[in-house]
Structure 1
Amino acid sequence: MPRDLDQWIIDRRRELGDRVRRLRLGADHTQESFAEATGIDRRTLQRIEAGTSDPRYSDLLRIAAVLDQRVSVLVD
């Protein structure tokens, strides 16, 4: 279901996605290996990195744990 989102929310989702992608690549993970390590579907990770979805908090916790980062690093 499409929603009308404020531009600042869209921008922040893209920033989150860029940050996750940069940290994932820095940790030498492919999307496939990252999906396996986090237990998150690869398509879901693709949408998070593209900034087209609102990730669940539990997904952010899993991503942060695999990257050995705090959630605040992802969303700041």
Structure 2
Amino acid sequence: MKEPIKNKKIWLGFLVIFIMLNPWYFPSGGEPVLIYGVPLWAIVIIIMSIVLSLYITYVIHYHWDTLDEEENGEEK
């Protein structure tokens, strides 16, 4: 299992999430779109924060080499 820092696909995923996390792509000015009284840009930020958390969990669980750390913990 490779370390995630060397996997370019993982970094591409982080890049896409961070681009979507910053709502610079919403039009400026005008009346904001509200959903149940919450601006759409705030909902997008909340959803993308959840996506980022799930993605980090996925990377740690499936791409991080934790075998050495688990073995070291058992030897002590």
**Is the TM-score greater than 0.5?**
no
Report 1 or 2 for greater relative contact order, CA contacts < 8 Å, sequence distance ≥ 6. Answer: 2
- Give TM class, smaller chain: 0.3 to 0.5
Instruction: Give the TM-score taking structure 1 as reference length.
Output: 0.32
Structure whose CA Rg is larger: 2
Q: From the two aligned structures, give the one with the greater strand fraction.
A: 2
Q: TM-score w.r.t. structure 2 length?
A: 0.32
